């Protein structure tokens, strides 16, 4: 079970791109299209250990979006934040999702070596296992 891969599958189902073509786990390869996503697991922590052995865990993912157009980066990440913070709780294939939320709203990270703008939204997934 891989939380990043399950989250990428959610993004693919939302029509945001295709895994390995425009959505990547880890850093974005320099040779990829100018417009692409990356999902980077950035830790987490157990929230509640139950006496029966189940756990509530919080995972943190950094979701980055890259484009030649800085306005596109902000608009796309703003729409993504609204998707993540919608009223429904998105379920992932291999995880019982309790909560999914964007904690850090779209931020401009900087330019890459090809002068493409990269933005970031930080997402927290709370799961029950």
Domains and CATH numbers, the chain: 3-128 (3.30.2000.10)
pLDDT in tens, 28-79: 988 878 899 999 998 777 667 677 767 788 899 999 999 999 999 999 999 9
pLDDT in tens, 80-129: 999 998 877 677 888 888 888 998 778 877 788 788 899 999 999 888 87
State how far the Cα of 101 lies from the Cα of 110, in Å rounded to an integer: 23
State how far the Cα of 94 lies from the Cα of 87, in Å rounded to an integer: 21
Beta strands in 1-116 (DSSP E): 23-25, 36-49, 55-67, 96-111
Q: Do the strands 36-49 and 117-128 form a parallel or antiparallel pair, or are they unpaired? A: unpaired
Q: What is the pTM of this model?
A: 0.87
Name, in order, each residue with C-beta under 8 angstroms of 128's C-beta and a sequence gap of 6 or more.
54, 55, 56, 96, 98
Chain CA centroid to CA 103, Å: 11
């Amino acid at each position: 079970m891989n939380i990043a891969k399950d989250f990428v599958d959610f993004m693919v189902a939302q029509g945001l791109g295709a895994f390995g073509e425009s959505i990547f786990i880890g850093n974005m390869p320099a040779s990829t299209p100018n417009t692409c996503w990356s999902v980077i697991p950035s830790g987490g922590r157990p929230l509640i250990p139950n006496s029966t052995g189940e756990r509530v865990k919080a995972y943190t993912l950094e979701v980055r979006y890259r484009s030649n157009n800085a306005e596109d980066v902000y608009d796309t990440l703003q729409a993504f934040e609204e998707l993540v913070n919608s009223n429904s709780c998105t379920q992932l294939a291999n995880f019982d999702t309790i909560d999914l939320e964007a904690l850090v709203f779209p931020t401009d990270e900087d330019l890459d070596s090809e002068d493409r703008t990269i933005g970031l939204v930080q997402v927290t997934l709370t799961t029950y296992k």
